[in-house]
Structure 1
Amino acid sequence: MATDSTAYPFTLLDIVNQCDSFPYAPDPKLEQLTFLTFVVDNIPVGRIHNTVVPHITAFNQQSSPIFHITDTTVSFMPWLSDYESRSDAIAQMLKHWRNDVKSFPCLSGWRDELYGVYTHITDPATTKGGAALAIERSACGLFGVHAYGVHMNGFVRTGPKPSDVQLWIARRSMTKPTYPGMLDNMVAGGMGFGHSPQYTIIKESMEEATIPADIAVNAIPVGTISYTKLSKDCTQTQPETQIVYDLELSKDITPVPCDTEVEDFRLWTMEQVLTAIRQGEFKPNCACVCLHFMIRHAVLTPENEPDYLEIVHRLHRRIEYPGPKKWPTFKE
């Protein structure tokens, strides 16, 4: 599928760079970043920018300080040694910060949804569902902890070759707090703590696309993409892993918006999807999920995409922080 990429404002690798924007060694930009390591149980689990540290220090001025702060690390005091005490300490601090919109604009998108933070320790006496603590979703970037989500490609076969496919593409609602009006995968969502990937994909399928559970359950896990985003002001990082699913749909099934998250759906050819990606119309991580699909379906090949090898490598960044060995399902 050869195209003249010079006719578009972005190459496919440009889009991957927008998603996976935290610099790699030996990029000199790394030396300019000023993050402290967030440590739990002596295990690094995230990054906290030095501009956030004074706010932590101020909150710490109480009879029983919560955090131990050094020049390079932020960790819990020893008596905060289990899931409940750590999660409560973070929640109390974030509740206080939530009123300071100027310092913490990300908290204006408060979700009332928790994301689990994992170490290598899974002792049920100190963890819950294998997590050392849980953090409000909108605050994950402040602590640079590893977040997880699911994305599903809904596709229709149009011929016998792997590349003979069309994709259902969603347009995000203009009221979304992030990337309003941009293009998205048919179904996608963050994984709230206590929900498994399959449960999340089935739930999101109904909520976003009115696809019933007896159809969504046929979605096949086909791998992951992973990346680390660096905010434009270089004060937040967000390592993310998206678990990717494919769902083949018959031509008589049409996704329909069910909640307020999606404006509409359209069934597009691979050429249409690639054009929109190169025009910068997709939310970057959703574009990467489409690229992952196109690589697996031989739409993008070493022969027609000059950045093929780099794109393949960059869709699977190694996240340095621990993840769950088994997904907790206590909310299902």
Structure 2
Amino acid sequence: MTTPTTQRLSLIDVVNRCDSFPYPSDDPSRLERLSFLTFIVDEIPCGRIHSSVVPHIVAFNEQDRPVFHITETNVSFMPWLSDYESRSDAIAQMLAIWRNDPIAFPSLTGWRNELYGVYTHTQTTNPSSTRQGAALAIERSACGLFGVHAYGVHMNGFVRTGPRPSDVQMWVARRSATKQTYPGMLDNIVAGGMGFGHSPGYTVLKESMEEASIPLEIAKGAVPVGTISYTKLSKDEKETQPETQVVYDLELPADFTPTPCDTEVENFRLWTMTQVLDSIRSGEFKPNCACVCLHFMIRHAVLTPENEEDYLEIVQKLNRRLEFPGPKRWPTFKEEH
């Protein structure tokens, strides 16, 4: 959990709190000290696995037909696991065992029963071994253990207060104190992980109703405005999480008030940009939500090259180039049309 800080953060510090995995150009020796192996599927790097996890993979491998090929630098599937179903089943069986060891695998205590796709190919390449472009699917809470690319949507809900782009106020959510991750911290009006088979557009509409009671006819006004991307390094430095968040803006009527619909959100507040910035600098926002707010402020000229000394670096770092593949287009086979 990231907690508020008593020291005022610079905005580039805020971004670095989210994008915390080192770049090779920063300190190549640190990357080596972190001790990650590359997770490879179909000869394509798809994630990172910490060396401390390898003995558990070796133990699972002690069966009549080993599942993984392990070297000093890589972990990959044995050749007989050559399609989506066999790989997904093998990972699921292993995670079912690991789930019973919360000391070794604390992240699995937040089990979601939700699958995320791991992509190696586009839908038109080698379709027999993939499912709509995914080489396998993995339980959401285990993505950090394998360091695979995860996806979500975040939406800025805002109200216009004047003619200038910067004349806006933003709806801010307070996360429930019972949330598994970042309890009690500030959040965007709507945000959620993108389960395998759910497109960004479908996810943002679903989350709008579930988290903020936004009617469908209003939520359909959400506009995709880009992405942010980053790689998080866990505090114990044993998990990484490359993530891409598809960002939406929704201009809301001045007389509309979002209302919590489930147990994930405590309340909503309509804040000025000054209030939002102040809470970002004090560390009250969930790290990636703070970055989504900064993305909004840049696009709406709240932050400019003239009023923010780290403007250029912030803009660049909000879109880290992630080295692992993603879908060419989003699979939608689970969607309700």
Q: TM-score, normalised by structure 1?
A: 0.97
**Equivalent residue for 1:301, pick from 304, 311, 335:** 304
| Corresponding residue number in structure 1 for 2:270 | 267
Give the secondary structure class of the aligned counterpart of 2:205.
helix
Alignment deviations for residues 140-192 of structure 1 (CA, whole Å, 9 cap, x no partner): 00000000000000000000000000000000000101000000000000000
| Corresponding residue number in structure 2 for 1:54 | 55
| Corresponding residue number in structure 1 for 2:285 | 282
Aligned-residue sequence identity (percent) comes to: 77
Distance 1:8 1:327 in 2: 41
| Corresponding residue number in structure 2 for 1:24 | 23
| 1:218 to partner: Cα distance | 1.1
List 4+ stretches of structure 1 deviating above 4 A. Answer: none
| Corresponding residue number in structure 1 for 2:327 | 324
| Residue pairs, 1:200-219, within 5 angstroms | 200-219=203-222
Give the secondary structure class of the aligned counterpart of 1:329.
coil
**Equivalent residue for 1:221, pick from 212, 224, 231:** 224
1:101 matches 2:108:
no
| Corresponding residue number in structure 2 for 1:141 | 144
| Residue pairs, 1:102-181, within 5 angstroms | 102-120=103-121, 122=123, 123-181=126-184
Distance 1:284 1:233 in 2: 17
| Corresponding residue number in structure 2 for 1:79 | 80
| Corresponding residue number in structure 1 for 2:191 | 188
| 1:124 to partner: Cα distance | 2.8
| 1:32 to partner: Cα distance | 1.4
Distance 1:121 1:314 in 2: 26
Question: RMSD of the alignment, in Å?
Answer: 0.9
Whether the 8 Å CA contact 2:205–2:216 is kept in 1: the answer is yes
| 1:31 to partner: Cα distance | 2.8
Whether the 8 Å CA contact 2:122–2:327 is kept in 1: the answer is no
Whether the 8 Å CA contact 2:175–2:183 is kept in 1: the answer is yes
| Corresponding residue number in structure 1 for 2:233 | 230
Letter in 2 for 1:18: R
| Corresponding residue number in structure 2 for 1:14 | 13
Whether the 8 Å CA contact 2:118–2:138 is kept in 1: the answer is yes
Give the secondary structure class of the aligned counterpart of 2:173.
strand
| Corresponding residue number in structure 1 for 2:200 | 197
Give the secondary structure class of the aligned counterpart of 1:125.
helix
**Equivalent residue for 1:251, pick from 249, 254, 277:** 254
| Corresponding residue number in structure 2 for 1:4 | none
Letter in 1 for 2:295: H
Give unmatched runs, 5+ long, in structure 1: 1-6
Give the secondary structure class of the aligned counterpart of 1:175.
coil
Letter in 2 for 1:83: Y
Letter in 1 for 2:310: D
Alignment deviations for residues 9-36 of structure 1 (CA, whole Å, 9 cap, x no partner): 2111111010000001233322311000
Letter in 2 for 1:26: S
Distance 2:81 2:121 in 1: 17
- Per mean C-alpha deviation after superposition, the further-off stretch among 191-200 and 119-128 is 119-128
- Over 3 Å counting, the alpha-carbon distance change for 1:8 and 1:158 in structure 2 is farther
| 1:121 to partner: Cα distance | 5.1
